[in-house]
Amino acid sequence: MTPVNTIEGKAIPFGRANVDTDVIIPAKWLKTISRQGLGRGAFETVRAEPGNVFDDPDYAGAPILIAGENFGCGSSREHAAWALANLGIRAVIAPSYSDIFSGNAFKNGILAVELPRAAIDRLMDVAKTDPISIDLEHQTVTTRFQDRFTFEIDPFRKHCLLEGLDEVGLTLAMEPRIAAFEKQQASWLSPAA
């Protein structure tokens, strides 16, 4: 994973609540065996709406997406995170996320920043004209208007993101612990043939 520290740039003021992963990437795009190229199908139904923010040239190449409550609810498809990454999104700012989505985002180096409603409203305003800065190390979101919002993040996730660590590799290093755990498990756990 590529290390993540500061993310600075335009933010797409999407703002909608309960954005499910079928909206982020409709099911027909999941028939792939690759992680690449999913940006084509990202937000397909939203992009069919005239004047949508995703096709607004003002936000072309924006690395940040601002959304409402419960972002990424629904399906567990990691394709949602891959599609965002493929669009160039490196951070989402929203009041809350589904648990599965925030895990998927983290594992793909996308920062899911949680801020209160009032901060989101303010950033939605700023995003229309100006860039936004996210500093992971100091856990802040700032604007050129002296706005400064701090956010919480799990320390382990923060560490992995800052260092660009591979979680599978980290866990494999604990193999002796896992093997010891397996030794004390009940024998009936292995499924009958």
Partner 1 sequence: MASRPRTLYEKIWDAHVVERRADGTCLIYIDRHLVHEVTSPQAFESLRLGGRKVRRPDLTLAVPDHNLPTTARLDAEGNRIPIADPESAAQLAALEANAPAFGIRYIGPTDAEQGIVHVVGPEQGFTLPGCTLVCGDSHTAAHGALGALAFGIGTSEVEHVLATQTLLLKQSKSMNIRIEGALGFGVTPKDLILHIIGRIGAAGGTGYVIEYSGSTIRDMSVEGRLTVSNMSIEAGARAGLIAPDDKTFAYLQGRPMAPKGEAWEQAVAWWRTLPSDPGAPFDCVVDIDAAAVAPTVTWGTSPEDVAPVWGAVPDPQSFAEPAKREAAQKSLAYMGLEPGQRMQDLAVENIFIGSCTNSRIEDLRAAAAVLNGRRRADGIKQALVVPGSGLVKRQAEAEGLDRIFIEAGFEWREPGCSACLGMNPDKVPPGERCASTSNRNFVGRQGPGARTHLVSPAMAAAAAVTGRLTDVRELMG
> What is the contact surface with partner 1 in residues (CB under 8 A)?
16-18, 20, 22-23, 26-28, 30-35, 44-45, 68-70, 73-78, 81, 96-100, 103-104, 107-108, 154-156, 167-169, 171-172, 174-175, 177-178, 181-182, 185-192
Closer to partner 1 at the Cβ: 100 or 140? Answer: 100
Does residue 122 contact residue 93 with C-beta atoms inside 8 Å?
no
Beta carbon of residue 165, minimum distance to partner 1 (angstroms, whole number): 11
Closer to partner 1 at the Cβ: 124 or 135? Answer: 124
Beta carbon of residue 144, minimum distance to partner 1 (angstroms, whole number): 27
Q: Which residue has the tokens 């601002």?
A: 66
Q: Count other C-beta atoms under 10 Å from residue 185's C-beta.
A: 9
CA distance 122 to 125: 5
Beta carbon of residue 95, minimum distance to partner 1 (angstroms, whole number): 10
Rg (alpha carbons) of the chain, rounded to whole number: 19
The region, left, alpha or beta by phi > 0 then psi within -120 to 50, assigned to residue 97 is beta
Closer to partner 1 at the Cβ: 9 or 68? Answer: 68
Closer to partner 1 at the Cβ: 16 or 131? Answer: 16
Closer to partner 1 at the Cβ: 98 or 143? Answer: 98
Beta carbon of residue 59, minimum distance to partner 1 (angstroms, whole number): 20
Beta carbon of residue 148, minimum distance to partner 1 (angstroms, whole number): 25
